Amino acid sequence: MILITKKQKDYELLDSGNGEKLERYGPYVLRRPDPEALWEKRKDSLYWDNAELQFVRNNNKTKWIAKEGTSRNWNIVFGGLNFSIRPTSFKHTGLFPEQLPNWEWTEEIIKNYELRIKNGKEGPDHKKLSKDSVLKKISVLNLFGYTGGATLACAKAGAEVCHVDGSKTAVEWARINAQLSGLEDAPIRWIVDDVLMFLKREIKRGRKYDAIIMDPPSFGHGPKDELWKIEEHFLVLMKLCKEVLSDDPLFVIINGYTAGYSSIAYENNLKDIMKEYKGEIEKGELVIAESEGDRLLPCGIFARWSKNN
């Protein structure tokens, strides 16, 4: 399966090739490296050179070169949410546009489930409910939540969310995005913690979640310098996640950006941890479509499980 993000009012992929991509975020065009763009550019060099912000490497040092008058922090609307865009020294912008189809998928699942509840059709234990029945909100756990795109999408749909990331800066950025999106009062727990340590504590507390979203990086550190290596800790992560799932989960998503990994590996893990539940698994690539033509830029992989209706 290929999940495609297409042009929006405040975002588009203008061109790609020769190891770079050219994107528009609101009023500004950004030029930055992308190793997946192993083809020729379609637009000429003058078009590329006109970008307001260009990410460059020089002797192991990196920086953004900005044209005079270009802001280094601005806001855009994307996927019905508001985001603060801040180009970082790691070439990131604070937004991963290719995740939009996953956000839309989670929103649809949450809204459809709540609609069934309101209509008195079904509860978590599959028993018939009266229209006056009141149930707790769907609980979503977003691990390695970064700047909060998935968190805000789920909160907007009506879920309560626990957002966990090892970076205080990322969590603060996510909270700003929540404020910009009018979700500052939404039921979101903002947690700065090592993901594995957090999960172990949640298991001791007996906390359960109806859905889990995760975006495990290749390598990283927690707030107390806890080490994360995907090749060493991913299977531990899967086991811990299984223990915090509720008795009747709605969905689980694993996103990946680590080079050399396949969505099949993620699918195999979902088959193991979700074998006790009735549902279906989808897997594939996350891509962004160029705004002109039919070319797609590969951006990541995913595997996701959802409960059978």
For 3-39, write each residue's pLDDT tens digit.
Answer: 999 999 999 999 999 999 999 999 999 999 999 999 9
Is residue 127 pLDDT above 60, yes or no? no
pLDDT of residue 134: 47
What integer pLDDT is reported at residue 126 of this predicted model?
43
Contact 139, 211 (CB under 8 A): yes
pLDDT above 90: percentage of residues in the chain: 84
13 touches 23 (CB < 8 A) = yes
Helix residue ranges, H only, the chain? 45-49, 100-118, 149-157, 168-180, 195-205, 230-244, 263-273
Within the chain, all domains assigned CATH 2.60.40.1180 are found at: 2-85
What's the pLDDT score for residue 125?
Answer: 46
Which residues in the chain are classed under CATH 3.40.50.150? 98-307
Place of tokens 């927690």: 222
Q: Is residue 221 predicted with pLDDT exceeding 90?
A: no
Using 50, 70 and 90 to split pLDDT, how confident is the model at 96? Answer: very high
pLDDT for res 120: 65
Domain 2-85, architecture per CATH? Sandwich (2.60)
Burial of 38 (0-12, 13-18, 19+ CB in 10 A): exposed
Please give the Cα distance from 175 to 186 (Å, whole number): 11
CATH topology of domain 98-307: Rossmann fold (3.40.50)
